[in-house]
Structure 1
């Protein structure tokens, strides 16, 4: 279902995405198993002494996911998607916090499941040939275009151009927003010129809504289940990219402490959300 390069085997942190799955709906079994490692992008948003503060870097930040020893500045796609069995989320304690400025963000346990949905999710939409083109988050005043992100010849995931700070990107080899499984949207927190599309992402908390407009005239609304901040050396690839039985959404950007010498941030901010409503535009 999702083309892409294959390396096979577990990721360098012991997680084998091929072991994650979900209960298929409408006879379709979808699986997105990707591992993103640090790339060269902008980022702002730090936690210092348990409180989130903005840091304005003079250089570009690395991107999303744990750094690979052999590719410290790349986001590498690993392991082909294959079917598997779904572990019931309700049977596990996630540890992913509600998020928001009134709740300092922390990382959940490495083995934790994604946070439980706030509302009962509706049936995922059929999405063949559909493209998402806009994302809106009224809580943080965000309205931004979505571009498709693929992989290049080096098997690294393409990223939104730094020249367009308000541009977010959707990983096109994963589920389409509204389709069963985890759709992934990436965005800068800042560039050399200032704040970017996800500069206020850390303000989102459980219960907030995210809307994505699609080319089939549907607007799909997701309700945030939780937000966490994790070290890039311990990126929770299974929790983020593992299969889900519902249509889910993950927003990812940089966070943590900015190192001016390396031009990198220490962490990622990850928003987990579940489809809660669909309507015709």
Structure 2
């Protein structure tokens, strides 16, 4: 080692210089890292605690082709009976609508313009007003706006409930403010009664034939919208898991019913 002149400071080695720079920078790194960690933690908490508002997405319409198909052999050959204490599954894609629970009655002969005004399902405490819905630009059936969570929508391009064919009524299962009009639809089961009050003063009473829960990627378009000689009814809402990334539920819950009685309101 070379001797130093009096008052001359030793020159640090390269390793010592790196250590000194690290010691000076460490407090700043710790402070920045602490704030960054807090920010990440707060962002995570907000993501978990902040209430989500499901996006107003449409339901698959008659012209919508499912994005994927499940293996027919892996699913039941018919729609199940449903019920609050029964796991809901999907029927095979090629399965027909469920067999009617009762002998169908003749469809209602309508004179003049008529529309459904109210839907009642006593077994699940449902009594809700109806509004008309049409089709979105992407071909999906509209649903009522989230500002009307307790109102269901009748698909106006299909039959009026009570007329021949599959009438379709849709509604939300939940919103940020709580349960919506079809929050208990998955509890409906075969044999339950559904009453649709119409503007012509008649009540079309349907008996539930079956209930299924299907992936939105394999929506059974033909089973829901296919031709019927009798008067049928389809109730549709969301189900499954709510996906925060997409803002949508993964599945649809579908109730199938057949006209079983008519009366005056």
Normalised by the size of structure 2, how large is the TM-score?
0.72
Q: CA deviation at 1:195?
A: 0.7
More helix by share: 2
Match of residue 89 from structure 1 = none
Pair 1:153–1:104, CA change in 2 (3 A)? closer
Residues 1:252 and 2:236 aligned together? yes
1:194 maps to 2:178: yes
Distance in 2 between residues matched to 1:154 and 1:202, nearest whole Å: 27
Alignment partner of 1:233: what SS?
helix
Q: How does 1:47-196 map to 2 (within 5 A)?
A: 58-61=52-55, 63=57, 65=59, 78=63, 94-127=77-110, 128-152=112-136, 155-196=139-180
Q: What is the alpha-carbon distance in structure 1 between the residues aligned to residue 249 and residue 123 of structure 2?
A: 25
Counterparts of 2:167 and 2:228, CA distance in 1? 10
Query: Unpaired runs of 5+ in structure 2?
Result: 1-49, 65-75
Deviations 1:97-155 (A, max 9, x none): 00012221000001000000011111001234111100000111010000011235665
Aligned to 2:186, the other structure's residue is in SS state helix
| Change beyond 3 A, Cα 1:255–1:62 | farther
Q: Deviations over 1:38-86 (max 9, x none)?
A: xxxxxxxxxxxxxxxxxx9613146455xxxxxxxxx56639xxxxxxx
Aligned length: 204
- Paired position in structure 2 for 1:216: 200
Q: Considering only CA atoms, is the larger Rg found in Structure 1 or Structure 2?
A: 2
- SS of aligned partner of 1:157: coil
Contact 1:135 1:143 in 2 (8 A): yes
Native 8 Å contact 2:166 2:224 kept in 1:
yes
**TM-score (normalised: structure 1):** 0.68
- The Cα RMSD (Å) is 2.0
* Contact 1:57 1:258 (8 Å CA) reproduced: no
What do residues 12-48 of structure 1 show as CA deviations (whole Å, max 9, x unaligned)? xxxxxxxxxxxxxxxxxxxxxxxxxxxxxxxxxxxxx
Give structure 1 stretches of 5+ with no counterpart.
1-55, 66-74, 80-92
Equivalent-residue separation in structure 2 for 1:77 and 1:110 (angstroms):
15
